[in-house]
Amino acid sequence: MRAHFAILVVIAAVSTGDLLRGPRRLAAAAPVGQAATATPSGISIEEQIIAKEREELDALKTGETDRFAGLLAEDAVFVDAHGSADKEEVVKNTADFRLSEYSMEDVRFVPLSVRSGLIIYKNTEKGVSHGREFNAVVYVSALWILRDGKWVCLFSQETAAR
């Protein structure tokens, strides 16, 4: 229940945050129902967000902590079985974390606004965490938002698969 509440709070914050920041110029107004997927570059928001999520995972695979940190919003919140963590905690914990393999499966996309979207997927992963090898299957949800022309992850949650 706490996780569902957290997701609702983050979604509300994104929607409200867009309004509180005042008007921003958007490249083009899209027809109703396409607002969150139409972009001037021709690359859908869904494709951009999925690419950013893969870039984040690839940074964990190559050990590029700075690159990983650069993909997170300053006010990012991550949730897993240990509870919630802010960006600083997550980046600190990933210093001793390395993926050797990952596989994003059953990727789903939920558009939230013209500058944000939620992806949900199953991730099968292998790696080393704090000196110990691991194999895991987790369900991931990640909320991405476009801020100052850059996609950043604002919220992510991992739930271990049973």
Please state, in angstroms and rounded to a whole number, the distance separating the CA atoms of residues 38 and 101: 32
Is the separation of the CB atoms in 151 and 49 below 8 Å?
A: yes
Please state, in angstroms and rounded to a whole number, the distance separating the CA atoms of residues 80 and 41: 35
Q: What is the pLDDT of residue 51?
A: 97
pLDDT values of the chain reduced to their tens digit, one per residue, 162 residues: 444 334 433 443 444 344 333 333 333 333 334 444 556 668 899 999 999 999 999 999 999 999 999 999 999 999 999 999 999 999 999 999 999 999 999 999 999 999 999 999 999 999 999 999 999 999 999 999 999 999 999 999 999 999
Q: What is the pLDDT of residue 39?
A: 60
Is the separation of the CB atoms in 143 and 6 below 8 Å?
A: no
User: Mind listing the domains of the chain with CATH numbers?
Assistant: 2-22+43-160 (3.10.450.50)
Q: What is the pLDDT of residue 42?
A: 80
Closest by CA position to 11, among listed 159, 154, 157, 109: 154
CA 66 to chain centre: 16
pTM: 0.77
